[in-house]
Each structure stands twice: as C-alpha cells, then as structure tokens.
C-alpha cells in the first residue's frame, strides 16, 4: 500500500494517523493541503515527506493563476511554507532544492504550462529515485542479516515512511524474501505509536513474523540474548555520522553497545547532510504537549502537567556499527567515509 501517489492533478495521501484501525485516503489538491498533511503526520517518514513536498511544490505551480511576472515570488512562498512543516527531516529540504533547481532551469520560459509539466516530471523523478534507492539499500543491508535472526526496530521506516518498500523495513523485507528465518521485535514508539500502529501492520501484511513490545522492554530482551541486531531509519545524518531519528533511538543504541549487539542505521544518501558537521547542529522538532498528555484523544495524564515532547533524538556516531545506503554500507570513520560515499558515482 502506497503512502502517497500522484493522481495527475492531486496527491493521494494515506492518512497514517488512522492506521491500523481505518484505511483512509484523501486527495490534496493544493500545496497548503500537502503542508498540513505533513504537519499532522498524515504523511510521515523522511523520504515520504520529501516526495510529498515535491508534489506539493508542483501543486503550487498548478494552482497559480496570476501573471508570469509574479510566478517566481509566488513559488518562493510555496517553498517556504513546505519547508516549515518538519524541521528535522533533511529529505524535505533536499527535495525542495531539487524542485527549486528545476524551476531555475525553466526560468526563461514564458509558458507556465511547460514549467508546470517540468516540475511534475521532477517530482516523479524524486519519487522514482526513492523507490530505486530503497531496493538497493535493502539488497546491501540483507548481507548483514544472519540466516536466523531476531531483529529489533524502532518507529516505522517501511513503505509507509517512503515512496515504496522502506529503509530499515526494506532490509527486513529483502532478508525475508531471500528465505532467511527472521523475526522482528517492534518497539511501540511512544508517543505517536508508529511502531505499534504502522510497523506491526506492515510486517503482518507481508507475513513477516513480528512481536510488539513496549519501549521500555528492549534492554531486558537484549539481556536475555533475544536480539541479534538493531536496524533503524534516520531523518538526518550529520557529516560525522551522528544520526537524528525518532525519539528513543539513542537509548537503543546505548543498550545495544552495552550488550555487544550491532546497531545499524538504514537511510538513502538523500538523508546525509554534509553541511551539518555534527548532531549538535541538527534542529530537533518539538511537538504538541497533547501527544504526551493524551493517547489519540484519551487523557492519560493531568491536563495541566508540564510536558517536554521532542520528536527526535541524536545518536552519536560512536554507537553506530554501520550506515546502510543505496551506494553500499558505510563504516567508521564516518567523517571520511560518508564524504566518499556522497561523491561516489
């Protein structure tokens, strides 16, 4: 099932806030609707956010009905609105830069319909690149999975978080398809429950054995020898290998090192941000206190209690065994090898 799909004049979005109890689609016909869907986490996951924003940018061009002289300023406003939706996910900015570059290539054209078609084609290319990268990433990552393995994953880095197939779950899918006997432990991933609601649902759809655990159970499972490796996704990877991912990832990395368990990050190279030297410079999004005080509208805490709700944390590179990309597996030292993989053709 696709998280997003271009329908010719609108973006079909699977509302992930309703899963797994409801399968609800809606079609965004404007860039503002796409921006709101990203903010509300109806579409989520760094690669999917990037592709959705690209189509949102194209929708901005489609909906413009003013004179050509005002078009460029209008598109700058479209870009800024989409860029403001989720500050941590670097794929968002990567996709918008590609769209902006494509618009720059078309700037001498007077025919707005030609420009619109060029922007749709660029968004299609971004979506296709994501499909291709995830498949390659899955192949590379499969080489690290033992023939008989219990894998722990956190949040959701599957088809729902990408255009298709997935990053961390793409590796798990590739391992399963190759005949390996794998079993997945999925953290529930409070407070938005992406692991409980989305990862378990995806894996069950593919008939991949999965067990749901509470976030605070991971260390106990490692202590019992029930985890062979940890594979997670990423929202931004700094030049030194520090990685921002869903809140709770850092704790798993520390636990994995304490128990001598390999800890892998799976992400396309579009998630690597060489402009950010370390994780200290990665902006961390803070979300509504109600996501902690309530569980999908049901109060679970005093309504006036103070809340701290960062959506992400940063795992230092020293805890990461390897970073799996579509260009291969990157090993330490990341400050050297990430640069190499980014310039590799």
Structure tokens at 66: 């003013």
Same domain for 131 and 147?
no
Residue 12 exposed, middle or buried by CB count within 10 Å (0-12, 13-18, 19+): middle
Q: Among 135, 162, 177, which residue terminates a domain?
A: 135
pLDDT at 114: 96
CA distances, 336 to each of 53, 240, 269, 343 (Å): 31, 8, 15, 11
Q: Round to whole Å and give the CA distance between 209 and 197.
A: 15
Structure tokens at 234: 């990423």
Domain of 108, in residue numbers: 4-135
Tens-place pLDDT, residues 274-305: 999 999 999 999 999 999 999 989 999 999 99
Percent pLDDT > 70 in the chain is 100
Residue 233 near residue 155 (C-beta atoms within 8 A):
yes
**Whose CA is closest to 91, among 79, 103, 83?**
83
**Whose CA is closest to 74, among 83, 63, 85, 84?**
63
How much is the pTM? 0.95
Tens-place pLDDT, residues 159-211: 999 999 999 999 999 999 999 999 999 999 999 999 999 999 999 999 999 99
Q: Are strands 298-299 and 312-315 parallel, antiparallel or unpaired?
A: unpaired
Q: E strands of the chain, at which residues?
A: 4-6, 11-14, 25-28, 148-153, 181-187, 210-213, 229-232, 236-238, 243-246, 263-266, 272-273, 294-295, 298-299, 312-315, 322-325, 328-330
Which helix (H) or strand (E) segment is 267 a member of?
A: none
Q: What is the mean pLDDT of the chain?
A: 97
Same domain for 268 and 300?
yes
Same domain for 129 and 147?
no
Same domain for 281 and 337?
yes
Q: Among 117, 135, 153, which residue terminates a domain?
A: 135
CATH code, domain with 150: 3.40.50.10470
Length of the chain: 345
Average pLDDT over every residue of 149-156: 98
Q: Round to whole Å and give the CA distance between 191 and 277.
A: 29
Taken in order 237, 238, 243, 244, the sign of the CA dihedral is: negative
How many domains are there within the chain? Answer: 2
Same domain for 198 and 116?
no
Same domain for 121 and 198?
no
CATH code, domain with 34: 1.20.120.420
pLDDT at 1: 77
Same domain for 111 and 153?
no
Same domain for 127 and 199?
no
Taken in order 97, 101, 107, 112, the sign of the CA dihedral is: negative
Average pLDDT over every residue of 29-48: 97
pLDDT at 125: 98
Same domain for 201 and 175?
yes
Residue 256, sorted as left (phi over 0), alpha (psi -120 to 50) or beta, turns out to be alpha
Structure tokens at 84: 């403001």
CA distances, 69 to each of 109, 157, 301 (Å): 11, 42, 53
Could you list the active site residues? 235
Same domain for 309 and 203?
yes
**Whose CA is closest to 345, among 322, 332, 326?**
326
Residue 315, sorted as left (phi over 0), alpha (psi -120 to 50) or beta, turns out to be beta
Q: Give the full edge-to-edge strand order of the sheet including 229-232.
A: 210-213, 181-187, 148-153, 229-232, 263-266, 322-325, 328-330
Q: Among 135, 164, 181, which residue terminates a domain?
A: 135
pLDDT at 108: 87
């Amino acid at each position: 099932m696709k998280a997003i799909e271009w329908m010719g004049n609108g973006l079909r979005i699977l509302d992930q806030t309703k899963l797994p109890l409801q399968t609800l689609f809606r079609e965004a016909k404007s860039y503002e609707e796409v921006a709101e869907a990203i903010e509300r986490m109806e579409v989520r996951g760094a690669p999917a956010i990037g592709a959705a924003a690209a189509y949102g940018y194209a929708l901005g061009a489609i909906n413009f009905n003013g004179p050509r002289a005002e078009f460029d300023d209008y598109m700058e406003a479209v870009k800024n609105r989409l860029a403001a939706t989720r500050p941590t996910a670097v794929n968002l900015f990567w996709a918008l830069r590609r769209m902006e570059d494509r618009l720059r290539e078309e700037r001498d054209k007077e025919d707005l319909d030609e420009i619109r078609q060029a922007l749709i084609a660029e968004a299609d290319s971004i979506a296709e690149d994501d499909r291709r990268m995830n498949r390659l990433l899955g192949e590379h990552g499969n080489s690290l999975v033992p023939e008989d393995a219990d894998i722990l994953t956190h949040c959701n880095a599957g088809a729902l978080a990408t255009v298709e197939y997935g990053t961390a779950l793409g590796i798990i899918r590739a391992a399963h398809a190759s005949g390996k006997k794998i079993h997945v432990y999925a953290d529930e991933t409070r407070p938005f429950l992406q692991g409980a609601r989305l990862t378990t649902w995806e894996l069950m759809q593919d008939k991949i054995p999965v067990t749901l655990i509470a976030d605070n159970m991971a260390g106990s499972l490692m202590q019992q020898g029930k985890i062979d490796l940890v594979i997670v996704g990423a929202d931004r990877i700094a030049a030194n290998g520090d990685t921002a991912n869903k809140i709770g990832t850092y704790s798993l990395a520390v636990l994995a090192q304490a128990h001598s368990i390999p800890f892998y990050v799976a992400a396309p190279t579009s998630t690597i941000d060489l402009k950010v030297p370390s994780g200290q410079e990665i902006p961390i999004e803070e979300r509504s206190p109600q996501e902690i005080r309530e569980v999908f509208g049901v109060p679970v805490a005093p309504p006036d209690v103070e809340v701290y709700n960062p959506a992400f944390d940063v795992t230092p590179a020293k805890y990461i065994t390897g970073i799996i990309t579509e260009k291969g597996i990157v090993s330490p030292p990341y400050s050297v090898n990430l640069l190499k993989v980014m310039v590799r053709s």
